[in-house]
């Protein structure tokens, strides 16, 4: 579908056309799913997608252009993923202020010990990718080639490994 068709579809959806809203939701869902799979905890993906699509259907009338739709929708998905993680963990793993406080009150020796414990707590496939990237300083392409994975899978696994490490340290 071309940009002009998307503009017409969005205009119809903004006007309240139920079929157009359903088409917009259907068009957005694959991109939302891919983004949620990279951003959410595995168990939260479907819930985040559903909540994001509900928010989109309720607020579509406020959107002005097709170009604004994707960036706005990705922010909604990220917010939903973070909200669900905070609720499940009873802590915000993305709380930068908390991370700064943690770093400021621990000595270098304590930080090394805590980081070693965090790495030991990781499943081997997550520990391996952190070591390759952050210790051996390989690029994503080099790691993907070494592990026989796609670049996207490598980036996803690295992101999840870092997320788990952060949760361990701040949890």
Q: How far is CA 162 from the centre of its chain?
A: 12
Phi, psi angle pair for 11, to nearest 5°: -60, -45
CB atoms within 10 A of CB 158: 18
Domains of the chain by start residue, with CATH: 3-89 (1.10.1740.10), 96-170 (1.10.10.10)
Rg (CA), the chain: 20
Mean pLDDT comparison of 1-5, 77-81, 147-151, highest-scoring range: 147-151
pLDDT (0 to 100) of residue 22: 87
pLDDT of 97 higher than 80 = no
Burial of 120 (0-12, 13-18, 19+ CB in 10 A): exposed
Alpha-carbon torsion 12, 31, 85, 42, what sign?
positive
| HSE toward the beta carbon, residue 72, CA cutoff 13 A | 14
Tens digit of each residue's pLDDT (9 = 90 or more) over 39-58: 776 667 888 888 888 888 88
The pTM of this model reads: 0.50
């Amino acid at each position: 579908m071309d940009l002009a068709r998307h503009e017409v579809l969005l205009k119809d959806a903004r006007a309240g056309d139920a079929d157009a809203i359903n088409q917009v939701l259907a068009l957005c869902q694959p991109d939302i799913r891919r983004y949620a799979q990279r951003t959410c905890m595995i168990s939260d993906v479907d819930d985040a997608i559903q909540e994001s699509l509900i928010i989109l259907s309720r607020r579509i009338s406020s959107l002005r252009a097709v170009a604004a739709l994707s960036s706005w929708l990705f922010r909604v998905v990220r917010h939903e993923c973070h909200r669900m993680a905070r609720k499940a963990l009873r802590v915000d793993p993305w709380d930068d202020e908390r991370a700064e406080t943690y770093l400021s009150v621990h000595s270098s020796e304590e930080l090394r010990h805590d980081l070693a414990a965090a790495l030991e707590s990781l499943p081997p496939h997550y520990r391996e990718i952190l070591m390759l990237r952050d210790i051996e300083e390989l690029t994503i392409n080099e790691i993907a080639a070494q592990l026989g994975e796609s670049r996207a899978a490598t980036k996803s696994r690295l992101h999840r490994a870092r997320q788990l490490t952060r949760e361990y340290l701040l949890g």
